[in-house]
């Protein structure tokens, strides 16, 4: 899933959406309504739809099986289904069996697209120009094609890259659900959804977000005992020791949990950098609810993206090479001002002056704000 990062609250909402996807008590109609309402708390959109259709090889046209639009007018629905879906330029792209998701502006030349008949006669008036479109892959022996569309009115800003990554995260789970709805007799898998993984303690709490390789999740009780973790957390920990419990990675996360438990005035803590050998992680913690009986920790591996993001800040705020070097040593290696001075053979006062200059250029006053500038968490 690229290098997109999520807050604790976003992780909770994603997990809640995935639980909704697998809720057998919800009919398809109920599910699509609940899903869109929950998704809107993560991604703002004005219109949306689930669309299920077939391609007729004889007529060379698409045939709608089920259309689940949100905030479409009756006229727009009728015009699209009867006439314009056959001219919709995203349908051939989304009719593939592998996962495809994109923002319209990333795929099309918007200047050329605005000149098409489909856009001029329908999409423009229906405010479908700003969109995220994604397919929901179903088994190859299933004739149904399933897609998800999110739309913003033309005067709104473009969807974020993060919005697209959220949709990509949900694709395999939606495939799982829609296979049961439209292809229950298929013997083929739609997509492989990663297994839910618990910690070595054998607790039953499960984590749904195991298809985000850079996101480690774990849960602790109020005594700083780990209750559960997902597959990514397990991989992080086992990189340093075969046992999750005995790994230096887990011990450092537990230490952060204890800091949060010790300060009763806090509900969240982080982002906090963790350095192990040549690796750098960021951890953010939060209580699950007002009872303060359970803590969730989200951990990101950032060594592979840290330098790239810091370099981007260097360009954006015109940092000098020396300023960049000092900030890099401070953040990446957690060196003190004194240690940086020795490393670079300069005075500690010079280090402090450079850090002050960096903060002034960025309009911040402390290291925590700098981490947020990096958009790590």
Q: Can you give the pLDDT at residue 196?
A: 42
Q: Can you give the pLDDT at residue 266?
A: 86
pLDDT at 2 over 70: no
3-state helix vs strand vs coil in the chain, percent to 5: 40, 20, 40
- Give the pLDDT mean for 344-357: 92
- In angstroms, the CA 296 to CA 222 distance is 11
Domain residues for the domain of 350 are 304-373
- In angstroms, the CA 141 to CA 186 distance is 7
Asked which of 254, 269, 298 is the last residue of a domain, the reply is 298
Asked which of 298, 331, 363 is the last residue of a domain, the reply is 298
- In angstroms, the CA 228 to CA 206 distance is 7
Sign of the dihedral defined by the CA atoms of residues 313, 343, 369, 214, in that order: positive
Q: Is there a single domain that holds both residue 156 and residue 25?
A: yes
Closest CA to 45 of 130, 115, 126: 130
Residue 195, domain member (yes or no): no
Stated pTM of the model: 0.61
Q: Can you give the pLDDT at residue 197?
A: 40
Phi, psi of 263 (to 5 degrees): -105, 100
Q: Is there a single domain that holds both residue 99 and residue 227?
A: no
- Give the pLDDT mean for 197-210: 46
Q: Is there a single domain that holds both residue 270 and residue 356?
A: no
- In angstroms, the CA 148 to CA 180 distance is 17
Q: Is there a single domain that holds both residue 31 and residue 161?
A: yes
Q: Tell me the pLDDT tens digit for each residue of 254-299.
A: 999 999 999 988 888 877 888 888 788 888 888 877 788 888 888 8
pLDDT at 105 over 90: no
Residue 206, domain member (yes or no): no
Domain CATH for 292: 3.30.450
- Give the pLDDT mean for 59-78: 92
Q: Is there a single domain that holds both residue 292 and residue 308?
A: no
Q: Tell me the pLDDT tens digit for each residue of 204-262.
A: 345 555 555 567 888 899 999 998 888 889 889 999 999 999 999 999 999 999 999 99
Q: Is there a single domain that holds both residue 25 and residue 88?
A: yes
Q: Is there a single domain that holds both residue 33 and residue 104?
A: yes
Place of tokens 């009780």: 221
Q: Can you give the pLDDT at residue 306?
A: 65
Domain CATH for 331: 1.10.10.10
Residue 265, domain member (yes or no): yes
**Number of domains into which the chain is organized:** 3
Residue 260, domain member (yes or no): yes
Q: Is there a single domain that holds both residue 281 and residue 311?
A: no
Asked which of 298, 321, 352 is the last residue of a domain, the reply is 298
Residue 199, domain member (yes or no): no
Burial (0-12, 13-18, 19+ Cβ within 10 Å), 89? middle
Residue 168, domain member (yes or no): yes
């Amino acid at each position: 899933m690229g290098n997109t990062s999520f807050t604790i609250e976003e992780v909770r909402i994603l997990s809640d959406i995935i639980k909704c996807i697998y809720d057998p008590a919800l009919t398809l109609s109920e599910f699509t309504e609940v899903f869109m309402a929950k998704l809107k708390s993560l991604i703002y959109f004005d219109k949306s739809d689930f669309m299920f259709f077939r391609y007729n090889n004889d007529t060379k046209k698409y045939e709608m099986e089920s259309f689940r639009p949100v905030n479409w007018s009756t006229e727009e629905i009728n015009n699209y289904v009867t006439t314009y879906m056959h001219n919709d330029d995203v349908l051939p792209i989304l009719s593939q069996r592998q996962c495809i998701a994109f923002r319209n502006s990333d795929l099309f030349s918007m200047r050329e697209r605005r000149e098409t008949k489909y856009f001029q006669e329908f999409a423009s008036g229906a405010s479908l120009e700003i969109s995220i479109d994604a397919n929901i892959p179903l088994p190859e022996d299933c004739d149904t094609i399933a897609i998800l569309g999110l739309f913003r009115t033309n005067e709104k800003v473009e969807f974020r890259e993060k919005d697209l990554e959220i949709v990509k995260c949900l694709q395999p789970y939606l495939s799982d659900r829609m296979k049961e709805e439209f292809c229950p007799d298929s013997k083929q898998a739609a997509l492989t959804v990663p297994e839910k993984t618990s910690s070595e303690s054998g607790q039953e709490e499960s984590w749904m977000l195991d298809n985000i390789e850079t996101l480690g999740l774990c849960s602790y009780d109020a005594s700083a005992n780990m209750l559960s973790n997902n597959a990514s957390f397990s991989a992080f920990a086992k990189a340093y020791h075969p046992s999750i419990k005995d790994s230096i990675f887990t011990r450092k996360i537990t230490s952060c949990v204890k800091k949060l438990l010790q300060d009763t005035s806090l509900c969240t803590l982080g982002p906090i950098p963790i350095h192990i050998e040549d690796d750098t992680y960021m951890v953010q913690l939060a209580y699950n609810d007002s009872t303060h009986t359970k803590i969730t920790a989200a951990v990101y591996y950032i060594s592979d993206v840290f330098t790239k993001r810091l370099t981007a800040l260097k360009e954006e705020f015109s940092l000098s090479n020396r300023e960049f070097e000092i900030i890099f040593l401070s953040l990446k290696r957690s060196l003190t001002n004194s240690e940086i001075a020795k490393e670079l053979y300069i005075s500690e006062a010079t280090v402090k002056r450079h850090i002050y200059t960096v903060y002034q250029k960025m309009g911040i006053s402390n290291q925590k704000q700098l981490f947020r500038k990096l958009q790590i968490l």
